[in-house]
Amino acid sequence: MEQLNFSKTLLIIPTFNEVDNVGRMLSILFEKYPELHIVVVDDNSPDRTRDKVVELQQLHKNLNLIDREKKRGLASAYITAFKWGLCRDFDYFIQMDCDFSHDPKEVFHLRQDAEVYDLVIGSRYIHGVRITNWPFYRLCLSYLASLYVQLISRAPIKDPTSGLKCFKRIALENIDLDRIISEGYIFQFELSFKVWARNLSIKERPIVFNERRDGTSKLGRSIILEAFINVLRLKLKHVFKAL
């Protein structure tokens, strides 16, 4: 396997009630990528996820914690971490879930492709549908939602809400993080759409998405409604050059 230098790579993991996963995930990541820097953004999890992270900081010098006082959502967590990383000497920014729906081995492949591309997306919809253990209705909802996003936005992104990505620094520097309009999962598309709208290079690489091992999914009706509306808003902003 090709050797990559991860010393200027920041991996961002947002958490809320992930105490059953965070220890295993962090241990695996540091075992595979000892030079990697990780920042966990925890929204005051009632299950004391942050305490587990603090404990592991004694073992891993590259582990950082952003400890927030209340639950502020996925988009806010990532924006906070992106800004934190941009103030430091990082060239690559990887985002992933804590619940093992994303395989830690994919971190290497995303970072490898980011040598060439400004944004690399781990896609569930390249070379077929690559999702395990989802009920049929949820699979249909997700796939139809991705088709809707592609139809409205015209952006060539097969998996618009993928949460596994690697940004080059230049990609994040070309996004005004203070003008993000989304809060839920459609935030993932908003970032990718804005990178595409600025004519930066994007690659989607196939991954297998595994349903979370522990805990519960945070998908709700309000998040679905927000996604439906914000795709239209983003398209209109693009048309009128207001992104």
Give me the DSSP letters along 160-191: TT---EEEEHHHHHTS-GGG----STHHHHHH
39 backbone dihedrals φ, ψ, rounded to 5°: -125, 125
Instruction: Sketch the domain layout of the chain as residue ranges.
Output: 9-239
The length of the chain is 243
Q: Are β-strands 63-67 and 92-95 bridged in parallel, bridged antiparallel, or unpaired?
A: unpaired
Give me the DSSP letters along the chain: ------TTEEEEEEESS-HHHHHHHHHHHHHH-TT-EEEEEE---TT-HHHHHHHHHTT-TTEEEEE-SS---HHHHHHHHHHHHHTTT-SEEEE--SSSSS-TTHHHHHHHHTTT-SEEEEESSSSS--EES--HHHHHHHHHHHHHHHHHH----S-TT---EEEEHHHHHTS-GGG----STHHHHHHHHHHHHTT--EEEEE--EE--SSS-----HHHHHHHHHHHHHHHHHHHTT--
Question: Do residues 37 and 107 touch, judged by C-beta distance below 8 A?
Answer: no
What pLDDT tens digit does each residue of the chain (243 aa) get?
A: 568 999 999 999 999 999 999 999 999 999 999 999 999 999 999 999 999 999 999 999 999 999 999 999 899 999 999 999 999 999 999 999 999 999 999 999 999 999 999 999 999 999 888 899 889 888 898 889 899 999 999 999 999 999 999 999 999 999 999 999 999 889 999 999 999 999 999 999 999 999 765 444 555 678 788 999 999 999 999 999 898
d(CA 41, CA 44): 9
Q: What is the pTM of this model?
A: 0.93
CB within 8 A of 223, min separation 6: which ones? 184, 185, 186
Task: Compute the chain's Rg from CA coordinates.
Answer: 17
Decide yes or no: CATH 3.30.56.10 for domain 9-239: no
